[in-house]
């Protein structure tokens, strides 16, 4: 399975950020448990055992906590896609065992507590008020501007529009319609690491939807 997972990831035609998200899940949660299992020996029962283990056993890479249902479901999808690549006529498998496995269901995912705390409306309003308050320290850029306010517009944009970071980073002045109090949802941007630093590039095109 280790060879299959590595080969599948290397040939994956998705975006760089997608592959970067798959890599740690394969390295940390899949290969340590089934790397030496032959592909033809993988069964739905063996996969179910892996899913239950990830849901119940402390995992060092996850702060010594088990993985949540959503993460386990994502791992199932990765395994299933990799096995799909060797399933079919004249291939290694005739049936993909992941298709009859029992990963966490959508209902279980929705019922699970979030892995991170969230703010209610009152807490969000308080947070936005506070991030727009200058620190009062004249040493903050000589009192001319305040570095402490640098990220205030970014957090306000997140809260007001529900846009993802990659979308907000693609905003331009031309997308703001002051007369309509609206901002077009731009195409999202992705970052790729290079020897000289990170390079940003458009991932999707701007849509005509707007957020008020």
Rounded Cα distance between 128 and 114, Å, is: 22
What pLDDT is stored for residue 19 in this prediction?
87
What pLDDT is stored for residue 202 in this prediction?
55
Angle at which helices 44-56 and 69-84 cross, to 10°: 150
The token pair at 27 is 């390295």
What pLDDT is stored for residue 145 in this prediction?
64
* Residue 195 to residues 14, 86, 191, 192, 198, Cα–Cα distance (Å): 22, 35, 13, 10, 8
pTM comes to: 0.62
What pLDDT is stored for residue 211 in this prediction?
46
What pLDDT is stored for residue 176 in this prediction?
82
pLDDT tens for the chain, 212 residues long, are 999 999 999 999 887 778 889 999 999 999 999 999 999 999 999 999 999 999 999 998 888 999 999 999 999 999 999 999 999 999 999 999 999 999 999 999 988 866 677 889 999 999 999 988 887 776 666 555 667 788 888 898 888 888 887 778 778 888 888 888 888 776 555 555 555 554 555 555 544 444 44
């Amino acid at each position: 399975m280790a060879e299959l997972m590595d080969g599948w990831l290397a040939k994956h035609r998705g975006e760089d950020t997608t592959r970067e998200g798959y890599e740690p899940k394969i390295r940390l949660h899949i290969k340590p448990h089934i790397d030496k299992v032959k592909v033809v020996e993988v069964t739905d029962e063996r996969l179910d055992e892996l899913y239950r283990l990830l849901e119940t056993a402390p995992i060092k890479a996850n702060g010594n906590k088990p993985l949540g249902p959503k993460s386990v479901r994502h791992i199932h999808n990765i395994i299933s896609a990799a096995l799909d690549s060797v399933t079919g006529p004249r291939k290694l498998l005739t049936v993909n065992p992941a298709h009859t496995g029992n990963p966490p269901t959508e209902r279980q995912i929705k019922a699970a507590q979030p892995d991170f705390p969230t703010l209610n409306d009152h807490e969000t309003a308080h947070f936005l008020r506070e991030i727009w308050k200058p620190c009062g320290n004249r040493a903050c850029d000589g009192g001319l501007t305040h570095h402490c306010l640098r990220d205030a517009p970014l957090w306000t944009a997140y809260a007001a529009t529900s846009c993802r970071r990659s979308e907000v980073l693609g905003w331009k002045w031309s997308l703001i319609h002051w007369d309509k109090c609206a901002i077009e949802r731009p195409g999202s941007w992705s970052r790729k690491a290079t020897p000289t630093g990170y390079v940003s590039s458009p991932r999707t095109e701007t849509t005509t939807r707007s957020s008020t």
